[in-house]
C-alpha cells in the first residue's frame, strides 16, 4: 500500500496536557514512520522503525513481533487526525512487549530530513 497521501498532512500529537501540530514526513511499512513538528521539521516527535530501517540491520525477526499492530494503529491515528502519546505507548507495549524509549532525532528516525 502507498501511504504518500498521508505524508505532510498536519494532525495533532497529544502528550499529557500539551498538544502540537505534527506531520508524517515518511511512511513505509518496511522502513517505518517518522513524525515531526509541522512548523519545524527539524524537531522530531515520534519515530517507528520498521524491519528494513538502517537502524535495525542487526535486529532479529522476533524483535518485530507486533510491529504490524503498531504500524496499523499509528496509520489509523494519523487518518483520524490525532495521536495520543500515552495511548500509543500502551498499545506499543501491549503489541510488542516493549516500551518505546529513545529520543527521536535525525539519527534515530528512518526518514531523516
Specify the range with the lowest mean pLDDT, choosing from 27-31, 56-60, 98-102: 98-102
* pLDDT per residue as tens digits for the range 31-85: 999 999 999 999 999 998 888 887 777 776 766 778 889 999 999 999 999 999 9
What is the side-by-side order of every strand in the sheet holding 11-15? Answer: 44-49, 32-37, 18-28, 11-15, 82-84
Q: Which three cell numbers stand for residue 51?
A: 524491519
Amino acid at each position: 500500500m502507498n501511504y504518500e497521501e498521508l505524508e505532510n498532512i498536519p494532525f495533532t500529537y497529544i502528550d499529557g496536557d500539551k498538544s502540537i501540530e505534527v506531520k508524517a514526513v515518511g511512511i513505509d511499512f518496511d522502513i517505518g514512520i517518522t513524525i515531526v513538528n509541522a512548523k519545524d521539521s527539524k524537531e522530531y516527535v515520534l519515530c517507528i522503525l520498521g524491519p528494513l530501517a538502517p537502524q535495525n540491520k542487526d535486529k532479529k525477526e522476533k524483535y518485530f513481533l507486533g510491529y504490524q499492530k503498531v504500524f496499523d494503529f499509528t496509520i489509523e491515528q494519523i487518518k483520524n487526525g490525532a495521536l495520543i502519546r500515552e495511548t500509543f505507548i500502551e498499545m506499543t507495549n501491549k503489541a510488542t512487549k516493549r516500551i518505546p524509549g529513545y529520543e527521536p532525532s535525525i539519527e534515530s528516525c528512518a526518514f531523516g530530513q
